[in-house]
Structure 1
Amino acid sequence: MTSGRALLGVDLLIGIDDLASPGTGRRCRQLITELEEAGLGSAAGATRHQLLVDPRIPYTSHNSSACIAWRSMAADPEAVVPAVVEIAASFLERVCPPAADPGLAVAVLPDLPEGSGRRERLVEFGRRAKREVLVTATARTLAAATGVHLSGHGGTQDGVLGALAAVGLHLSGGDGLFLFMPGIREISGDMTAGRLLDLVSIDQVRDHQRQEPAAGELIELGDWVRPVLLDGRAVLLLEPPVVDPDGRRRWRTVPRSVVKNY
């Protein structure tokens, strides 16, 4: 699977889980800032992944986890991992409340080529976490077998499950919405498709029938723009266009309720 421009150059995936209040998106942005200030690279984006909601699973809010797609810009991204782990671990231990069970996973993408078996096992683990109650021992065994760093940083450390699942689901290329993407929070209102694609690294803007607006056609973005991860690409989903009497098409993004199903 070939990623689009949104995830071009990503060489690390950083999975985090059980961040609690004030929300996964804000915590992701805070961690991204700390990693960038440390000179460790930059974030291409961060995706939210919904896991199984079940009474047998303890979770702080909605049982969702997140994966930061990181560009280390290092000749050997493996060499950056210890520093990333140190900063991310310290962040989790500092910001998570006592009731949380935060977990951290860091995967080096060049070590997980398609067809190696390691990537596929991680993807399957992520998919299982959406439908099954799993145990931490399974996550730790898989992380050791696939060369992924996995650690708990408080409480029961059950967050290692969600952290590793987030990495696997992001690797699948077909799960989650983008909580963060450079510039995504600065766009709102009405904008032409061409202007939108100039401002942010969204790969595609389309409806469910794969119809795409022309560059000069207006899109009603509203105040909450969140692409989803589909086919390894950042895709902004639109409702089917409304055609005016003069033949002009008008577009708008799908409701939040639809986006949050990804």
Structure 2
Amino acid sequence: MTDWLIAIDDTDDIGTKGTGEIASEIGELLQAADSAGRVSFVTRHQLYVHESIPYTSHNSAMCFSYSGSLSLAQIRQMAIAHLQQECAPAADPGLAVVDLALLTDRAALQQFGVQAKQQVLTKAQAYQLAEQLHVSLSEHGGTGQGVIGALAGLGLRLGGNDGRVKGQFQLGQADAEPQAYSVAEVLQQTGLDGVLTDQGEWLADDATLWLAGKVKAVFTQGRFALLVSAGASGWQNASKQQLKDY
């Protein structure tokens, strides 16, 4: 099996299907084509917000991993066809795909991702780095500006300490009243790797969590984690403000 990272950016417009949903659908197509393969959660990576950078609402890239037997050509064929079908007419979509075994300089790719959170980068910089690192990078409409975010999404996901998991987890909790769950129950129901406190502590399986409202996860220390903080009744799911750090 080959381990791949796949990222897309700038596929949507106001009122259209979001980039995260399109990324999830590409993952589902890959899984359907390779039932023995494994597709991960999709992570959302916040990029630099600047007046010279066009974006729909938040300027974020989406990334997921795929491990399986499909070739680069097959992955690209399915991803590109779906982008062409689902992207908004006004979008500037970019697609980045990398075989992790062939990636020549992980640090350089990670650094590009960090830079994309802090400054304005160019398509020329993205293409130059992609060529150096043997990353497949391509644009599929509009200005193609999304190649910058797509490449940055690979780097940020590769760094292991950036990104929120797309969507939220439904555990049966009420919106207003917190309900008690053990860490083990949460991991079994969600497929996450662990529960992490905002102080950096991984909780034991028998620890009790009090969850209410939107239950969201982050990607940190190379793991998919439910982020929690100390509340009046015990460990509770992190606030929207705490999640913004990712």
Q: TM-score, normalised by structure 2?
A: 0.88
Q: CA deviation at 1:54?
A: 0.4
**3-state SS of the aligned residue for 2:39?**
strand
**Equivalent position amino acid for 1:204 in 2:** G
Match of 2:46 in 1: 50
Decide which of 196, 200, 204 is 2:194's aligned counterpart: 204
Decide which of 3, 11, 17 is 2:3's aligned counterpart: 11
Q: CA deviation at 1:204?
A: 2.4
Match of 2:176 in 1: none
Q: Where in structure 2 are the equivalents of 1:55-204 lying within 5 Å?
A: 55-72=51-68, 74=69, 80-112=71-103, 118-179=105-166, 185-189=169-173, 190=179, 191-204=181-194
**C-alpha deviations, 1:123-160, integer Å up to 9, x for none?**
01111111111110110111111001000000011110
**Equivalent position amino acid for 2:183 in 1:** A
Partner Cα distance (1:212, 1:107) in 2: 30
Match of 1:231 in 2: 221
Do the aligned partners of 1:107 and 1:149 also contact (CA within 8 Å) in 2? yes
**Equivalent position amino acid for 2:88 in 1:** P
Partner Cα distance (1:208, 1:155) in 2: 40
Partner Cα distance (1:88, 1:195) in 2: 34
**Cα distance 1:101–1:63, how it changes in 2: closer, same or farther (>3 A)?**
same
Structure 2 gaps of 5+ residues are 174-178
Do the aligned partners of 1:188 and 1:223 also contact (CA within 8 Å) in 2? no
Which stretch of the first structure deviates more once superposed, 27-36 or 86-95?
27-36
Match of 2:29 in 1: 34
**Cα distance 1:54–1:185, how it changes in 2: closer, same or farther (>3 A)?**
same
**Equivalent position amino acid for 1:121 in 2:** A
**Equivalent position amino acid for 1:234 in 2:** F
Aligned length: 236
**C-alpha deviations, 1:88-127, integer Å up to 9, x for none?**
1111111111210000000111123xxx5x1111001111
**Equivalent position amino acid for 1:185 in 2:** F
**C-alpha deviations, 1:226-259, integer Å up to 9, x for none?**
221212122221111546xxxxxx2210112321
Which stretch of the first structure deviates more once superposed, 149-158 or 34-43?
34-43
**Equivalent position amino acid for 1:127 in 2:** V
Partner Cα distance (2:66, 2:161) in 1: 18
**Equivalent position amino acid for 1:85 in 2:** R
Do the aligned partners of 1:67 and 1:167 also contact (CA within 8 Å) in 2? yes
Partner Cα distance (1:150, 1:199) in 2: 35
Do the aligned partners of 2:94 and 2:144 also contact (CA within 8 Å) in 1? yes
Partner Cα distance (1:235, 1:55) in 2: 33
Match of 2:17 in 1: 22
Do the aligned partners of 2:194 and 2:203 also contact (CA within 8 Å) in 1? no
Match of 1:220 in 2: 210
Root-mean-square deviation over aligned CA pairs: 2.1
**Equivalent position amino acid for 1:130 in 2:** K
Q: CA deviation at 1:214?
A: 4.5
Do the aligned partners of 2:198 and 2:228 also contact (CA within 8 Å) in 1? yes
**Equivalent position amino acid for 2:8 in 1:** I
Q: TM-score, normalised by structure 1?
A: 0.83
**3-state SS of the aligned residue for 1:185?**
coil
Q: CA deviation at 1:209?
A: 2.2
Percent of aligned pairs with the same residue?
37
Do the aligned partners of 1:220 and 1:253 also contact (CA within 8 Å) in 2? yes
